[in-house]
Amino acid sequence: MAQLTSSGLIRAVRCLAQEADEQLHELRRLGCPDVVDELALQFHDQAVLADQLFSSGQITEEELNLVRRIDKLLEEMSGEVNAVLWTPAALRSSPLWAQVRLLAREFVGIAR
């Protein structure tokens, strides 16, 4: 059985912390250009492990709380009513995406 580590979570949060053009470049690299949802999906795949990472001492309570805040914000941005937020243009200009970046940068700044 593979050992659970925080590296995947840190990598996903670092991606959310990048400027929009860097994020779009990463999406092209992954083979899903302009599929902005993939940023949130990759983060969420790792965020679901955050409680376990905290329990095993791999992330701090402060880091856990930031992961939860990022996840909550992305969840609030989801849904058909918010489809306009999941475009390259919105990634560059939306205040909500700016907030995601701010929280992600805060996490990156304290991550071990």
pLDDT the model gives residue 112:
61
* Whole-number Å distance between alpha carbons of 8 and 45: 9
The pTM score is 0.92
Q: What value does the mean pLDDT of the chain take?
A: 94
- Tell me which residue of 16, 21, 11 sits closest to 99, measured CA to CA: 16
- The domain segmentation of the chain, as residue ranges, is 7-106
Residue 74 region, left (φ>0) first, then alpha (ψ -120 to 50), else beta?
Answer: alpha
Is the pLDDT at 2 greater than 80? The verdict is: no
pLDDT of 1 above 70: no
